[in-house]
Amino acid sequence: MPRPRPPHLQRQVSRHGKSVWYVRIGKGPRIRIRSEFGTAEFDAEYQAALAGKPRPKKGAAAAGTLAWLIERYRDGSDWTGLSLATRRQRENIFKQVIATAGGTPYSQISQAAINAGRDRRRETPFQARHFLDSMRGLFAWAKQAGFVKTDPAAGVKYPTLKSGKGFPIWTEADVAAYEARWPLGTRQRVWLAVLLYTGFRRGDAVRFGRQHVRDGVATLRTQKTGTDVHIPLLQPLREALDAGPTADLAFICGTNGKPMTKESFGNAFRDAGVNKSAHGLRKIGATRAADNGATVAQLNAIFGWTGSKMSSLYTENADRKKLAGDAINKLIFGDKTATSIPSPKGQVRAAKRK
């Protein structure tokens, strides 16, 4: 049997034998549908006519497609409540998704499809994680809003970060080599000091300026988490800022003396001497603090983290170093008098006592 015609949809045949479709509710006006019958564009016009809304603009996402669902998601508070940095990051993911699967009905997006999208990005594990975060946010909202009954992204696991695939951490030798190449009075030295002695991410570092400093304390709301951090300016940072050069409203500046974008700064910093990223420098800052006894709460306060996941990585590693140093003698069975080799600091103290 033929399917029943949707409500309020009328068909007329023109004198040229062409079918013309209209939507008419009761005795109201007839609203013509110009798209071809049976297409997604036809359905979008039909739904708009029923709702009394203007005809969708040409090129707009068809109702019921994944691109359409993403547009609805962007209109809601779940999206606007995200930080600007997170929205930019996910917007890049959505552009890729729309380009490859935007016309697919969102009801057909399965867990297998999300898995496939993650696996296509397996060579760049951080991109794979960003993809999964984006799809989880989209479909968690869609389920809550009643668009889908099940969340196809909920059961998909994060990709495993292979050794060496993360941001390479700076070493103390890297820092010393950089400082030797870029002395006080160079903008590259300002870059290092801002990153190393504040713990800011790139996006926050390029915004950081005199307007954020009062009574020797820098106060900034981080873009990624929206957390307020309060960082006292350490002596090495004050020396670098005093020597300059800096921009008017941002300490970090380019060759023209003007502030830099996060992207341009990241590229310039990577080329400034050590072929490692600004984020890797943030890691050595966290490592220094943890090795010097900083707690989870203290690391969170410095680096703007929430919860304990990130900060625990550094404190646990510092604890392992200390425990290994304390327990190394236990590898010598039966030797009660063996002592471990003293640390360089311990050697210096021993020499002074002599």
213 in the same domain as 176: yes
Whether 176 and 281 map to the same domain: the answer is yes
Residue 326: is its pLDDT beyond 60? yes
Which tokens hold the place of 152? 């196809």
Residue 86: its pLDDT value, please? 84
Residues 318 and 290: beta-carbon distance below 8 Å: yes
In a domain, 248, yes or no: yes
> Does residue 164 sit within a domain?
no
Is the residue at 120 inside a domain? yes
For 222-251, how does the pLDDT look when each residue is reduced to its tens digit (9 = 90+)?
887 788 889 889 899 999 999 989 988 899
The parent domain of residue 181 ranges over: 172-289
Q: Is the pLDDT of residue 156 over 80?
A: yes
Q: At which of 289, 319, 336 does a domain end? A: 289
> 339 lies in a domain?
no
Say if residue 182 is in the same domain as residue 279.
yes
Same domain for 32 and 105?
A: no
Residues 176 and 277 placed together within one structural domain of the fold:
yes
What are the CA-CA distances from residue 55 to residues 25, 41, 45, 183, 341 (Å)?
A: 16, 10, 6, 63, 79
Residue 113 located in a structural domain: yes
Residue 334: per-residue pLDDT: 54
176 and 284 in a single domain? The answer is: yes
Residues 130 and 205 in one domain: no
* Predicted pLDDT of residue 131: 93
Q: Given a cut of 90, is residue 112 above it in pLDDT?
A: yes
> Does residue 83 lie in a domain region?
yes
Same domain, 36 and 78: no
271 C-beta neighbours (distance < 10 Å), count: 10
135 lies in a domain? yes
Q: Does residue 83 share a domain with residue 108?
A: yes
Residues 81 and 19 in one domain: no
Residue 38 has pLDDT above 70, yes or no: yes
Domain's final residue, options 289, 307, 322: 289
Number of domains in the chain: 3
What CATH number has the domain bearing residue 229?
1.10.443.10
Question: Can you give the pLDDT at residue 1?
Answer: 47
- Clarify whether residues 140 and 186 are in a common domain: no
The mean pLDDT of the chain is 82
246-280 pLDDT tens trace: 988 899 998 888 888 888 888 888 777 777 777 77
pLDDT digits (tens, 9 = 90+) for 190-199: 999 998 888 8
